[in-house]
């Protein structure tokens, strides 16, 4: 554990930044609905991950919700890129 000697008020430091990101998320969701793209697996995973905001370890839980939870290596890599959400997640 590490703590600053001169601890600052975290709400003072981070509220405006978090507020801005929250509104961006809201606008993103409005945009996806307006464009009729709510069926995209990434957007569905995004909505699932949002539920983790009610959990205790939020950042960790959001990341876990967006992760491939399987344990076995895949047979072969057919692409190099990652999309940010697990495509095979059961809907």
Query: Smallest distance from the beta carbon of 78 to other proteins, in angstroms?
Result: 8
d(CA 65, CA 48): 7
Interaction residues for other proteins, span 2-31 (CB under 8 A)? 2-8, 10, 13-14
d(CA 48, CA 55): 12
- Give the nearer residue to other proteins in terms of CB position, either 32 or 89: 89
Nearest to 45 by CA among 70, 27, 63: 63
Interaction residues for other proteins, span 28-87 (CB under 8 A)? 57, 59-60, 63-64, 66-71, 73-86
């Amino acid at each position: 554990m590490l703590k600053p000697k001169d601890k600052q008020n975290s709400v003072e430091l981070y509220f405006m930044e978090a507020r801005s990101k929250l509104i961006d998320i809201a606008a993103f969701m409005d945009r996806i609905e307006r464009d009729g793209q709510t069926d995209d697996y990434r957007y569905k995973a995004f909505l699932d991950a949002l539920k983790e905001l009610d959990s205790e370890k939020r950042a960790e839980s959001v990341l876990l919700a967006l992760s491939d939870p399987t344990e076995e290596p895949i047979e072969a890599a057919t692409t190099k890129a990652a999309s940010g959400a697990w495509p095979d997640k059961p809907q």
